[in-house]
Structure 1
């Protein structure tokens, strides 16, 4: 997959089949749209291209600093590459772009810059300034500028019954299996291992403390989870705690992973953790010893869950 961070960098003499959207989560619905795009472009000897946006338009237009995204932009790019998409344009969304009329968007960007031959859009798609453009307008523009428009039907979208919003809510509620089913892969957290207080090591449960620099990344609800990671090409399972460590009067939220059967120094290493299952809510224990007892139970429950998975 070729990645372009500027519209002007994309150049192709071949006609281009395009779809548009933020595609946060790259979930099974997105995957279906991309599959149709890629298959149809291949049959017509055209290039496939996704025009996506970052930052999220709501962050720019509504100053919505509270919106959290399922993927960091790096995670999204990696997921899109796995779909077989040929070209990805990540457009830096800004207020000037939002002011483009529907006509200017089609003529200046889709036609003159990206050489659109077919546009694939979701049901009830709107675009341009104040979302003024719709499917009927696109069809009219298509006749004028010689491209066709394919709309993913309402029936197809309803049959999938999934959206980025539904997935975000599931993750926020700790409904990890539901979220993973909607995503078609395991929800992930990506960050750097940093120094912690070393309390886990002192009580027999050493942890890797994960720092995620992207403040827009969605973090699951506080509590304990079963996780897995790939470390030096080896799959390693463990349990993760997200929370404020109330037993030791913690002030800031931390993400701590205790890997099973792993004895490696992970400090300063980049780590990706796949979240598999929610174990329990975070709680304050009466003593460190009571916390240690609970961690033993968590580990047993984690191992039982891991053993129940079909790993073949």
Structure 2
């Protein structure tokens, strides 16, 4: 997959089959749409192009609203789209100026002139242009004028996408990780850099790597203990040109923790992982943590000894779960 950080860098391709959207989660609903996109491209011997926007439009148009939480970072989204077999990913910087285009200008200047769209695969409810005034009817009206065709995504497929995105977020917030993963079609993940913590885990015999998540918009699952799979990866970055996924080193099974460590009077949320059978220094390294099972909620224990005993039980539970869930 080729990635373009700006639409100006994209060179129009022959028979571009295009879809547009945020595609947050790239979940099973999205995957169905992308499968249709690939099949449509085969029909006209074309190439698939996905146009997405970053930052998310809500971040720009409603900066006072800090409630937006996304399932994917832009890097994670690229990783999943590459797995779906998309040929070209255009990540367009979303600005207020961009949002002020008329529907006709957007179709002519973006979809036709800059992408070379020959077929657009889009939902019945897709909106674009100034004040979201553009719609499917505009795309259909200008199709014969600008020489492209429109393939409408059925309403039932769009509704499935909406329901899935909503259910994924709700499930993650409630700690229902297995439900979220079933809608995603892959394990939910967090990627972060290992930073120094209070070293409480090391003192009680369960050393943990504390993760710093750079993206404030990334949705963090419910507080609690999780069964996880952890990979050490190269630092995450996207470069223009051919997509090269981050190299994953050896994978480890482990315990994941999200919470405030109430038993030791913690107040700040931390995200920690205890890797089974790994004892080297992880400071400064980037970890990709895949959440597989929710084990229990984060609670305050009456004593440190009681907490240590429970963590030991958690470890047994997680090792039993992962012994047949991971290969």
Common fold by TM > 0.5: yes
Distance 2:26 2:171 in 1: 16
TM-superposed CA distance for 1:100, in Å, is: 1.1
Find 1:270's aligned residue among 252, 276, 286. Answer: 286
CA distance in structure 2 between the partners assigned to 1:127 and 1:196 by the alignment = 45
Q: CA RMSD in A?
A: 1.6
Q: Is the 8 A contact 2:13 2:47 kept in 1?
A: no
Matched, 1:188 2:204: no
The answer for the alignment partner of 2:103 in structure 1 is 102
Answer whether contact 1:17 1:119 (CA < 8 A) is retained: yes
Out of 277, 293, 298, the position equivalent to 1:282 is 298
Q: Does 1:237 align with 2:253?
A: yes
Aligned to 2:322: 306
TM-score of the superposed pair, with normalisation by structure 2: 0.91
Which of these residues, 294, 297, 301, is aligned with residue 310 of structure 2? 294
CA contact (8 A) 2:209 2:272 kept: yes
Deviations 1:37-56 (A, max 9, x none): 12221331222100001111
**How far, CA to CA, are the matches of 1:159 and 1:105 in structure 2?**
27
d(CA) in 2 for partners of 1:174, 1:156: 27
Structure 1 runs, 4 residues or longer, greater than 6 Å off: none
* 1:24 corresponding residue in structure 2: 24
Q: What is the CA distance between 1:177 and its match in structure 2?
A: 0.7
Aligned position for 2:240: none
Q: Distance in 2 between matches of 1:157 and 1:20?
A: 13
Deviation track 1:90-143 (CA, whole Å, cap 9, x = no partner) reads: 011111111111111101100111111001012322221122122122111112
Gaps of 5+ in 2: 233-247
The Cα of 1:159 is off from its aligned counterpart by 5.6
Whole-Å separation in 2 of the counterparts to 1:52 and 1:133: 17
Q: Displacement, 1:230?
A: 2.6
TM-score with structure 1 setting the length: 0.95
Task: Tell whether 2:25 aligns with 1:9.
Answer: no
Q: Give me the whole-angstrom Cα distance separating, in 1, the residues matched to 2:67 and 2:159.
A: 28
Q: CA deviation at 1:149?
A: 0.7
User: Secondary structure of the residue that 2:114 maps to in structure 1?
Assistant: coil
**2:175–2:222 Cα contact (<8 Å) kept:** yes
Q: Would you say 1:82 and 2:83 are equivalent positions? A: yes
CA contact (8 A) 1:162 1:182 kept: no
Q: CA separation in 2, counterparts of 1:163 and 1:17?
A: 25
Contact 2:30 2:161 in 1 (8 A): no
- Judge conservation of contact 1:196–1:209 (CA < 8 Å) in 2: yes
CA contact (8 A) 2:12 2:114 kept: no
Gaps of 5+ in 1: none
Superimposed CA distance per residue, residues 55-87 of structure 1 (whole angstroms, 9 cap, x where no aligned partner): 111111122222111111111111111111111
Q: 1:250 maps to which residue? A: 266
